[in-house]
Amino acid sequence: MSRQDVFTRALLSPEESCPKGLFSHNGADPASRFAVYRNNVHSSLINALAAGYPVTLQLVGDEFFRAMAGVYVQDFPPTSPLINEYGGDLADFIQGFAPAASVPYLADVARLERLRVRAYHAADALQPDQQEIIAALQQQSDLGELRLQLHPSLATLNSAYAVVALWAAHQTGESLATLDPFHAQSALVLRNGLHVQVFHIDSGAAAFINSLNNGWPLEMAVAYALDAAAEFDLHQCLALLIGHGAITHLHTEPKVSP
Amino acid sequence: MTLSFTHSISQAQAPGLPRRAGLGLKNEHFSEVLETSPDIGFFEVHAENYMVAGGPFHHYLGLIREQYPLSLHGVGLSIGGEGPLNDEHLARLATLIERYKPHSFSEHLAWSSHGPVFLNDLLPLAYDDETLKRVCEHIDQVQTRLQRPMLLENPSTYLQFQCSTLEETDFISEAIRRTGCGLLLDVNNVYVSCINHQQDPLKYIEALPLHAVGEIHLAGFAEDTDSLGDRLLIDDHGAPIDNAVWQLYQHVLTRTGPVATLIERDNQVPAFSVLHAEARQADRFLLEARA
């Protein structure tokens, strides 16, 4: 094993002893100084996760979150120097993390928070004026064939829990006492200008938006939405998307099959 | 002596950063900087934070870059790594440099990646011929890929390697001589390492190739103790600059003349005005060094 093999292994695992061949000029135990590096690695990564998942942290408390993040860091250290991408799959880890099982909605709240980070850093796109989009829609002779291109920041989340209400309650410091987390909610996350926004949408709207993102024309997207929820309201959903700059382009030409 | 230093510095800095105090740009301060246009010599950003597709980071940096000189400081290239440099990461750096045209690019004499793992810390190197050769090859590769000279930052360390055959200062001098890169002299790192390894900071400074200094970093440290109860300083960028570091900085300026000087604060980031006050202090020392 190379020197950096040994060093890396000892940094990541607290059970490993301090690598050999190290010394302190004053004769102090090298382990007491190696501990600084080990602590830097672990605490900087745990801090990065804490910064990316503030509501997840609040739901379980700082001590629990840091202990959980510590296990994640040890099992899944970063594989890229882009730390803002680190912890992208923390929600999947939480889902399988037995000590967190008593907070069943924790993983979905983490999923929502990750969508917010992704939306924040997502690619920019020209956001046409609302009136332009409305006028363009009204001019279409064959609306059903139209494909709507959505902003790159936009994503949805379907949850069996009240994920939007839980997240929102933590933004306003609202009491969770009256909040029933055990009803299904879907979320829409997008960046409008510089601001990331979170909306509660119904499962029909989520199916509609996902269909558009998959390149389906309007008619098909509506069919999928009605399949998901018979009460899907196209007008309301389009108004939400247009009103928050989420529709960036209208494609009238048929999609070219690969 | 002073004249020849000044001459070399202007080369190391060309087209370089202004010989003034600069601040690390924190996202907490984006709006305030744009709204108040503070009198700051330059801003420095961590390259990796801006390796994102779009959004507020690029929006604000683009606007701030229109008003201020920029230093791009990498923390993820792992120049001291045993493995090859990450080509993808180098390509991302090249894209950022093309976009923002920074006045300076700098990286650390340290390693942070190993195999598939990124450790998010600046880890220490054994100073021997093999490591020197590798570090020089990596610096050559960076400078060739980015088509510009880089500055290499001296590290803060907590440990030493028994197998080291070179002093850190000799290692740095030789890397700079072989590759033609400049030196980012982190005065806080000098102080932290010298206290941790019971060395004289003034002697350490004298042993560096001061003609190659293109930028200075100043920051605060945290205090700890080792197993013998001796002072162990941690380079945490989370506190105001210590008096001892200010004094060492003033000494460095008598040897180098005025050099672009960054105030670094990455943890417990205070109000912008607090950092601005430290920048003004550095500017006063730079002005004295001009006289």
Q: Do A23 and B162 touch (CB under 8 A)?
A: yes
Distance from CA of A41 to the nearest CA of B (A): 6
In the prediction, which pLDDT does A157 show? 98
Looking at the predicted complex, does its ipTM rise above 0.90?
yes
Per-residue model confidence as pLDDT tens digits over B10-56: 344 446 899 999 999 999 999 999 999 999 999 999 999 999 999 99
Checking if the pLDDT of B216 tops 80, the result is yes
The token pair at B136 is 């020089």
Residue A108 lies in a domain: no
Per-residue model confidence as pLDDT tens digits over B62-113: 999 999 999 999 999 999 999 999 999 999 999 999 999 999 999 999 999 9
Q: Do A44 and B163 touch (CB under 8 A)?
A: no
Interface with chain A: mutation pick from B114, B157, B204, B228, highest number of A CBs within 10 Å: B114
Question: What is the rounded CA–CA span in Å between residue B271 and residue B193?
Answer: 29
Same domain, A171 and A243: yes
Same domain, A163 and A98: no
Per-residue model confidence as pLDDT tens digits over B280-290: 999 999 999 99
Cis preceding linkage at B15, omega within 30: yes
Q: Among all residues of chain B, which has the CA nearest to that of A85? A: B52
Q: Do A37 and B159 touch (CB under 8 A)?
A: yes
Percent of chain B with pLDDT over 70: 95
Question: What is the rounded CA–CA span in Å between residue B5 and residue A136?
Answer: 66
Among candidate residues A103, A136, A171, the one where a domain is terminated: A103
Torsion on CA atoms B226, B231, B237, B239, rounded to nearest 10: 130
A255 to chain B, any CB pair closer than 8 A? The answer is no
Q: Do B228 and A121 touch (CB under 8 A)?
A: no
Q: Do B158 and A7 touch (CB under 8 A)?
A: no
The domain ranges of chain B are 2-290
| Cα–Cα nearest to A33, from B162, B81, B225, B193 | B225
Residue A112 lies in a domain: no
Residue A119 lies in a domain: no
Same domain, A96 and A187: no
Question: What is the rounded CA–CA span in Å between residue B20 and residue A36?
Answer: 33
Ranges of H-type helices in A13-162: 30-52, 54-60, 62-75, 90-95, 106-121, 130-139
Question: What is the rounded CA–CA span in Å between residue A93 and residue B86?
Answer: 28
pTM of this prediction?
0.94
Strands A185-192 and B111-114: unpaired
| Cα–Cα nearest to B105, from B74, B145, B133, B140 | B74
In the prediction, which pLDDT does A127 show? 86
Checking if the pLDDT of B138 tops 90, the result is yes
Same domain, A95 and A209: no
Q: Among all residues of chain A, which has the CA nearest to that of B47? A: A82
DSSP chain B: -HHHHHHHHHHHHSS---SSEEEE--GGGHHHHHHH----SEEEEEGGGG-SSSSHHHHHHHHHHHHS-EEEE-SS--TT-SS---HHHHHHHHHHHHHH--SEEEEESSEEEETTEEEEEEE----SHHHHHHHHHHHHHHHHHHTS--EEEPPP-S-EETT--S-HHHHHHHHHHHH--EEEEEHHHHHHHHHHTT--HHHHHHTS-GGGEEEEEE---EEEE-TTS-EEEE--S-SPPPHHHHHHHHHHHHHH-S--EEEP--SS---HHHHHHHHHHHHHHHHHHH-
Q: Among all residues of chain A, which has the CA nearest to that of B234? A: A36
Distance from CA of B57 to the nearest CA of A (A): 8
Residue A117 lies in a domain: no
Provide the 3-class DSSP secondary structure of residue A35: helix
pLDDT category, B9, cuts 50, 70, 90?
very low
Same domain, A131 and A172: yes
Same domain, A206 and A257: yes
A26 to chain B, any CB pair closer than 8 A? The answer is yes
Same domain, A135 and A99: no
Task: Please check whether residue B214 is in contact with residue B260, taking contact to mean a CB–CB distance below 8 angstroms.
Answer: yes
Question: What is the rounded CA–CA span in Å between residue A158 and residue A175?
Answer: 24
Residues of A in contact with B228 (CB under 8 A): 26-28
In the prediction, which pLDDT does A177 show? 77
Per-residue model confidence as pLDDT tens digits over B153-179: 999 999 999 999 999 999 999 999 999
Mean pLDDT of the B238-261 span: 97
Question: What is the rounded CA–CA span in Å between residue A194 and residue B77?
Answer: 29
pLDDT category, B3, cuts 50, 70, 90?
very low
Instruction: List chain A residues with pLDDT less than 70.
Output: 254-258
Task: Please check whether residue A10 is in contact with residue A18, taking contact to mean a CB–CB distance below 8 angstroms.
Answer: yes
Mean pLDDT of the B116-123 span: 97
Please give the tally of structural domains in chain A: 2
Question: What is the rounded CA–CA span in Å between residue B237 and residue B218?
Answer: 9
Interface with chain B: mutation pick from A26, A38, A127, A154, highest number of B CBs within 10 Å: A26
In the prediction, which pLDDT does A257 show? 54
Q: Give the right CATH number for B2-290 from 3.20.20.150, 1.10.1660.10, 3.40.718.10, 3.20.80.10.
A: 3.20.20.150
Distance from CA of B95 to the nearest CA of A (A): 15
In the prediction, which pLDDT does B15 show? 63
In the prediction, which pLDDT does A90 show? 98
Question: What is the rounded CA–CA span in Å between residue B205 and residue B188?
Answer: 12
Q: What is the mean pLDDT of chain B?
A: 94
Q: Do A32 and B116 touch (CB under 8 A)?
A: no
Checking if the pLDDT of B251 tops 50, the result is yes
In the prediction, which pLDDT does A14 show? 81
Residue A26 lies in a domain: yes
In this complex, which of A3, A4, A123 lies closest to B53 when CB atoms are compared? A123
Interface with chain A: mutation pick from B99, B117, B236, highest number of A CBs within 10 Å: B117
In the prediction, which pLDDT does B215 show? 98
Q: How many CA atoms lie within 13 A of A106 on its CB side?
A: 24
Q: Do B75 and A33 touch (CB under 8 A)?
A: no
The token pair at A99 is 């000590």
Give residue A28's domain range: 1-103
* In the block, residue with structure tokens 């004499």: B109
Q: Do A81 and B49 touch (CB under 8 A)?
A: no
| Cα–Cα nearest to B266, from B54, B113, B121 | B121
Checking if the pLDDT of B1 tops 80, the result is no
Same domain, A76 and A193: no
